[in-house]
């Protein structure tokens, strides 16, 4: 456990909430583009994923099958539950949703992490925030494939994965026209996973940067990350936001290894519940936003927004503790029991006699 990374996960999930408060921002006169800084949370998540896959695998190199199963059991169950909930809403109350419809084909593609274009022209699954999970699962597939090819040599796996992601981006830029799957998975944003793996390779299990450098660098990188997500610069997102996110990660890990570790239980719980918050926050924000009166006062809107943020976090903690954690633990136990169960074979003639 790297406790400072739990803080980054909590911050990342919290930032994403701002992208989806348009129903509150509109009555306040806030343009949607000014909420784009919240997209920095996605960049943090992607860089963290790249780092954690290398860091955790280096401590105890897993078999490719075990790695893949672990990732599936961690990501899929709660995502499928939330996706089916949205599909049910689309089937029974379609007026509550926008471009999401009760299409069985779109549901199947969403559950299988296959990108497709919605009626609004965006490549988003039934649960719209799941577009990032399509990238996550794609990255896990690449990492697992090289784990298998290198026989669980994590360092070689990381280098090969970085190279493969770079080649995929180059291929996507070269192929025109390209199907939606190629355009989606070859987006330069996948290089943020490579940046996270690069940080893990650079730091290893014990290297660090001096504390006197880490603190100011962390502040500058956070500012650059928010600025890049808000205004951009015309450069690929992996450069504008990915590099600052990687520097934030580098500083957070270095600070912990230097003894600056933030272990407050409440913050660690928020980090644990960050995945649940990411998947469920739209239900709360959109639900409360639609309940606002058409001519609500500024005070009412502000109070509703603060209440929605608090309720979203409370719901995430509840879902994490009551649904996500027990479900994941149970599924992992079942997987372990299946792996360790003795193989049943037919008795030989000698054994029968």
The structure's pTM equals 0.92
Of 95-99, 259-263, 288-292, which has the strongest mean pLDDT? 288-292
Provide the pLDDT for residue 178: 83
Q: Does residue 345 register a pLDDT over 70?
A: no
pLDDT the model gives residue 160: 98
pLDDT digits (tens, 9 = 90+) for 298-336: 999 999 999 999 999 999 999 999 999 999 999 988 888
Say if residue 344's pLDDT is above 50: no
Encode the chain in three state secondary structure: CCHHHHHHHHHHHHHHHHHCCHHHHCCCCCCHHHHHHHHHHHHHHHHHHHHHHHHHHHHCCCCHHHHHHHHHHHHHHHHHHHHHHHHHHHHHCHHHCCCCCCCHHHHHHHHCCCCCCCCCCCCCCCCHHHHHHHHHHHHHHHHHHHHHHCCCCHHHHHHHHHHHHHHHHHHHHHCCCCCHHHHHHCCHHHHHHHHHHHHHHHHCCCCCCCHHHHHHHHHHHHHHHHHHHHHCCCCCHHHHHHHHHHHHHHHHHHHHHCCCCCCCHHHHHHHHCHHHHHHHHHHHHHHHHHHCCCCCCHHHHHHHHHHHHHHHHHHHHHHHHHHHHHHHHHHHHHHHHHHHCCCCCCCCHHHHC
- Return the pLDDT at 231: 86
For residue 309, the model assigns a pLDDT of: 95
pLDDT digits (tens, 9 = 90+) for 198-208: 999 999 888 88
Q: How confident is the model at residue 347 (pLDDT cuts 50, 70, 90)?
A: very low
pLDDT at 346: 42
Q: How far apart are the first and last CA of the chain?
A: 55
Q: Percent of the chain at pLDDT above 90?
A: 72
13-27 confidence digits (pLDDT tens): 999 999 999 889 988
User: Measured at the alpha carbon of residue 314, what is the angle toward residues 311 and 318, in degrees to the nearest 5?
Assistant: 135
- Mean confidence (pLDDT) of the chain: 91
pLDDT at residue number 342: 54
Contact 110, 80 (CB under 8 A): no
Report the alpha-carbon distance of residue 312 to residue 309 in Å, rounded: 5
The 10s digit of each residue's pLDDT in 85-131 is 999 999 999 888 877 888 999 999 999 999 999 888 889 999 999 99
Digit-coded pLDDT (tens) for 38-50: 999 999 999 999 9
pLDDT in tens, 140-180: 999 999 999 999 999 999 999 999 999 999 999 998 888 99
pLDDT tens digits for range 50-60: 999 999 999 88
pLDDT of residue 125: 95
């Amino acid at each position: 456990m790297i406790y400072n990374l739990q803080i980054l996960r909590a911050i990342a999930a919290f930032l994403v909430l701002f992208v989806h408060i348009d129903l509150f921002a509109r009555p306040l006169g806030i343009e949607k583009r000014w909420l784009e800084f919240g997209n920095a949370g996605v960049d943090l998540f992607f860089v963290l994923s790249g780092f954690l896959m290398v860091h955790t695998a280096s401590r105890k190199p897993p078999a490719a099958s075990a790695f893949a199963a672990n990732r599936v059991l961690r990501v899929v169950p709660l995502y499928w539950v939330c996706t089916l909930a949205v599909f049910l809403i689309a089937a029974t109350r379609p007026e509550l949703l926008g471009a999401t419809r009760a299409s069985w084909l779109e549901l199947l593609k969403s559950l299988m992490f296959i990108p497709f274009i919605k009626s609004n022209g965006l490549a988003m699954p039934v649960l719209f925030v799941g577009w990032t999970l399509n990238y996550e699962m794609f990255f896990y597939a690449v990492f697992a494939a090289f784990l298998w090819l290198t026989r669980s040599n994590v360092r070689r796996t990381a280098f090969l994965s970085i190279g493969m992601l770079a080649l995929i981006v180059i291929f996507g830029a070269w192929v025109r026209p390209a199907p939606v799957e190629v355009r989606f998975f070859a987006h330069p944003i996948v290089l943020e996973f490579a940046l996270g793996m690069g940080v893990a390779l650079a730091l290893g299990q014990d290297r660090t940067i001096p504390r006197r450098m880490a603190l100011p660098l962390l502040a500058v990188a956070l500012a650059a990350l928010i600025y890049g997500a808000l205004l951009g610069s015309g450069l690929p997102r992996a450069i504008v936001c990915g590099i600052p996110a990687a520097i934030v990660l580098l500083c957070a890990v270095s600070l912990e290894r230097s003894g600056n570790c933030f272990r407050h239980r409440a913050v660690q719980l928020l980090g644990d519940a960050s995945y649940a918050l990411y998947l469920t926050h739209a239900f709360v924000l959109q639900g409360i936003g639609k309940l606002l009166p058409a001519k609500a006062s500024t005070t009412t809107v502000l109070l509703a927004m603060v209440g929605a943020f608090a309720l979203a976090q409370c719901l995430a903690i509840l879902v994490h503790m009551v649904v996500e954690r027990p479900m994941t633990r149970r599924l992992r136990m079942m997987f372990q029991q299946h792996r360790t169960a003795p193989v049943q074979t037919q008795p030989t003639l000698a054994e029968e006699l």
